[in-house]
């Protein structure tokens, strides 16, 4: 399958490294307005670099466009690719607004090209294991869930992460991972209350504490930190009536490289493949087989809805009730 | 000079630990125990080798100070007569279950001149003391937010009876961290939002919650926010009783505080369930020694009755918010 990747920044590099391990995929071109970034990315997978999507599709015959652009630019490219009949893999979050997300969903609603959104946490073996144990009833009634995700502040193109209008801050870009996982494992969210830095101060440091109440009754507490002064880390704890499960990425791993705390690097896992490799291989397989993916585009829209509700709560100081899935 | 001290009621689960400390502290002359349940009182007195008093009044005649460990809603009943009899009181937390009771207790202390202190031992943990120094010394810059937990196991017994306990996990555990936040950051709690429920077998009372607090005042954390998880979400399979943790995020650093982080992990071949063994300071001993010092010197430190009242206000606001799904001003 011939893939073209657009946006050779931090996430673009992660995707390219993952593609290198997927034999069914040939990344034929990498586009980035910064040609040096496109060249560096292309070199990872033996592709050709391009300075724009336009140049990429003019020169290469690609079936799949992998979009790793800043969030606010997802919609335009996704719509364009859909119009050209190409499948699209979008890095999360799907879009900067619900309106944009719905427009994207609409563009892929027919029998033609398909849309996949990279909510990679669903491809971490340990998170999959947690969901399986919840589904099997091993925890009894799930009462209180606590998650934490703490990341150094990333320096992206034009410092776009620091521009809230483009990135949506820690709620849209980081803890949307936890919102998606929690909704996958626990069902729909009824109510959100969150406090964060928006409207207080927002200077390359975003921090949020959100409380979710699920329709099932479960209470979840979500911590997100952008600008954490240590290495990236995450944890989750699920307290049920019958059992408690904890997972903490700072605890000993099966492989640890001491001395490398590169910002944003995903800690090592026990499985042979990276979660990104699992995710992208799954998407490619879904395109080939016509199967529904583990995370559907609709799920990405609902995760965004939770992030935006939490954002509204931060700004208003009030809890926000979600209207249920659209 | 040692302080003559007694214990009023063995209802609370902390009372045996307090009694063991008082028996061993040089600063304490542990005189005796009284209990509205005379059988329980006599048994405890025998266990700790002290006298059993069949009335609180008779105990008050022979001591300088008492520790009150009755059920939460009975604190005022036991504390006020002690203060009026000229006996200094360390009252188990929460100070009471109603603001009226707490105010009456504070009033009785003011009128009698007898000291009323609230039992908040977490303040005495060395890592908490050091955290306070670091935060106040500017190690984190300005404090933006605090993510706190005080988890435990469902304690059972009267703790599940709303009449005696005044509530469940929210009443039992919130006050520790609410007190630590006020003490460490020099703030007051402005408002509380809470999601409250029961999942862990507490039956007629709450055992699961997440509280969000808006903080105000002080030089380091004015305008910060905090969450407290007071849930009884630990069970028999957990290797220790629970936890007290704080993650403090500031403009120039993060401080993770976990005073009971357990260095020894014990895998007992007979028991089958791993356990963690705490090697740190005994916070109860530090608190009781400070209480007795305050009595001896006439200069109390530690948490006052007013500190107890302020934390109760947070709890009551949380219950109000939990019912109404709106932030509640304190």
With a CB cutoff of 8 Å and minimum separation 6, the contacts of B324 are none
Residue spans of the domains in chain A: they are 2-120, 121-269+296-321
Give the model confidence (pLDDT) of B45-84 as tens digits.
999 999 999 999 999 999 999 999 999 999 999 999 999 9
* Domains, chain B: 3-118 (3.40.50.720), 122-283+311-329 (3.30.360.10)
Task: Provide the shortest C-alpha distance from residue A229 to chain B (in Å).
Answer: 6
Q: Do domains A2-120 and A121-269+296-321 have the same CATH topology?
A: no
**CB A244 to CB B238 under 8 A?**
yes
What pLDDT shows up at residue A204? 84
CA distances from B250 to A132, B149, B258 (A): 37, 18, 17
Q: B261: buried, middle or exposed (CB in 10 Å: 19+, 13-18, 0-12)?
A: middle
Q: Tell me: the pLDDT tens digits for A65-76?
A: 999 999 999 999
Give A-chain residues touching B326 at CB under 8 angstroms: 318-319
Residue range B111-127: mean pLDDT, rounded: 98
Percent of chain A with pLDDT over 70: 93
Judged on CB neighbours under 10 Å (0-12, 13-18, 19+), A18 is buried
Q: What is the pTM of this model?
A: 0.94
Residue B147 predicted with pLDDT over 80: yes
| pLDDT at residue A201 tops 70 | no
With 0-12 / 13-18 / 19 or more C-beta atoms within 10 angstroms meaning exposed / middle / buried, residue A136 is exposed
**Which DSSP symbol is given to B296?**
H
What confidence score (pLDDT) does residue A171 get? Answer: 97
> A110 — contact with chain B (CB < 8 Å)?
no
- Are the C-beta atoms of B325 and A318 separated by less than 8 Å? no
Q: How close, in Å, is residue A319 to chain B by CA atoms?
A: 7
Closest by Cβ to B193, choosing from A146, A193, A243: A193
Q: For B254, how many CA atoms within 13 A lie in the half-sphere containing its CB? A: 19
A40 touches chain B (CB under 8 A): no
Higher pLDDT, B182 or A251: B182
Nearest to B330 by CA among B312, B315, B314, B319: B314
pLDDT class for A325, splitting at 50, 70, 90? very low
**Residues B262-296: tens digit of each pLDDT:** 779 999 999 888 999 899 999 999 999 999 999 99
In B37-96, the residues whose Cβ lies within 8 Å of chain A are: none
Q: What percent of chain B has pLDDT over 70?
A: 100
CATH architecture of A2-120: 3-Layer(aba) Sandwich (3.40)
Q: How confident is the model at residue A159 (pLDDT cuts 50, 70, 90)?
A: confident
How far is A20 from chain B, CA to nearest CA, in Å? 37
User: What pLDDT is recorded for position A75?
Assistant: 97
Q: Which residues of B203-230 are buried (b: 16+ CB within 10 A; e: fewer)?
A: eebbbbbbbbbbbeebebbebbbbbbbb
Mean pLDDT of A266-272: 57
Task: Give the per-residue pLDDT at A273.
Answer: 84
Give the pair of three-digit tokens for residue B324: 């109404």
Q: Which fold has domain A121-269+296-321?
A: Dihydrodipicolinate Reductase; domain 2 (3.30.360)
Q: Which residue has 């799920």 as its token pair?
A: A299
């Amino acid at each position: 399958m011939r893939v073209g990747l657009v946006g050779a920044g931090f996430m673009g590099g992660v995707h390219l490294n993952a593609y290198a391990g997927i034999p069914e995929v040939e990344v034929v071109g990498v586009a980035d307005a910064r040609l040096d970034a496109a060249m560096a990315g292309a070199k990872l997978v033996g592709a050709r670099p391009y300075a724009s999507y336009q140049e990429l599709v003019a020169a290469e015959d690609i079936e799949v466009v992998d979009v790793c652009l800043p969030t606010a630019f997802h919609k335009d490219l996704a719509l364009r690719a859909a119009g050209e009949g190409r499948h699209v893999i979008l890095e999360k979050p799907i879009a900067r607004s619900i309106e944009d997300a719905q427009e994207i969903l609409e563009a892929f609603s027919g029998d033609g090209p398909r849309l996949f959104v990279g909510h990679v946490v669903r491809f971490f073996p340990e998170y999959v294991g947690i969901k399986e144990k919840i589904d099997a009833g091993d925890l009894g009634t799930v009462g209180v869930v606590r998650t934490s995700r703490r990341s150094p502040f990333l320096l992206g193109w034009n410092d776009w992460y620091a521009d809230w209008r483009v990135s949506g801050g820690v709620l849209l870009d980081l803890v949307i991972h936890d919102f998606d996982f929690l909704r996958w494992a626990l069902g729909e969210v009824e109510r959100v209350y969150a406090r964060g830095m928006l409207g207080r101060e927002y200077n390359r440091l975003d921090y949020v504490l959100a409380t979710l109440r699920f329709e099932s009754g479960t209470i979840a507490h979500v911590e997100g930190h952008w600008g954490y002064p240590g290495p990236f880390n995450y944890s989750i704890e699920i307290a049920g009536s019958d059992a408690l499960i904890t997972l903490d990425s700072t605890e000993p791993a099966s492989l640890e490289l001491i001395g490398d705390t590169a910002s944003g690097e995903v800690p090592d896992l026990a499985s042979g493949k990276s979660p990104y490799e699992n995710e992208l291989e799954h998407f490619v397989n879904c395109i080939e087989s016509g199967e529904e993916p583990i995370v559907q585009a609709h799920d990405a829209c609902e995760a965004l809805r939770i992030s935006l509700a939490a954002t509204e709560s931060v700004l208003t100081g009030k809890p926000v009730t979600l209207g249920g899935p659209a | 000079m040692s302080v003559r001290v007694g214990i009023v009621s063995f209802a609370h689960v902390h009372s045996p630990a307090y009694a063991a400390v008082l028996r061993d502290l040089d600063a304490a002359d542990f005189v005796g125990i009284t209990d509205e349940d005379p059988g329980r009182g006599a048994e405890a007195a025998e266990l700790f080798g002290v006298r059993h008093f069949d009335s609180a009044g008779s105990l008050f005649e022979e001591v300088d100070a008492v520790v009150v460990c009755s059920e939460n809603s009975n604190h005022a009943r036991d504390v006020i007569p002690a203060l009026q009899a000229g006996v200094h009181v360390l009252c188990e937390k929460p100070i009471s279950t109603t603001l009226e009771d707490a105010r009456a207790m504070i009033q009785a202390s003011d009128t009698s001149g007898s000291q009323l202190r609230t039992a908040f031992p977490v303040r005495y943990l060395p890592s908490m003391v050091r955290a306070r120094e670091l935060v106040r010394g500017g190690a984190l810059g300005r404090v933006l937010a605090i993510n706190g937990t005080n988890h435990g196991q469902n304690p059972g017994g009267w703790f599940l009876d709303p009449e005696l306990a005044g509530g469940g996990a929210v009443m039992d555990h919130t006050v520790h961290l609410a007190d630590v936040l006020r003490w460490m950051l020099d703030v007051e709690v402005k408002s509380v939002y809470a999601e409250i429920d029961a999942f862990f077998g507490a039956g007629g009372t709450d055992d699961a919650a997440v509280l969000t607090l808006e903080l105000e005042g002080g030089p380091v954390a004015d305008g910060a926010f905090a969450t407290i998880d007071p849930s009884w979400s630990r069970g028999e399979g957990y290797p220790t009783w629970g936890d007290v943790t704080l993650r403090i995020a500031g403009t120039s650093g993060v401080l993770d505080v976990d005073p009971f982080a357990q260095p020894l992990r014990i895998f007992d071949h007979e028991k089958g369930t791993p356990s963690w063994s705490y090697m740190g300071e005994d916070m109860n001993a530090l608190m009781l020694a400070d209480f007795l010092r305050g009595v001896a010197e006439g200069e109390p430190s530690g948490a006052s009755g007013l500190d107890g009242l302020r934390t109760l206000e947070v709890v009551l606001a949380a219950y109000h918010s939990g019912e109404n799904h709106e932030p509640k001003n304190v």
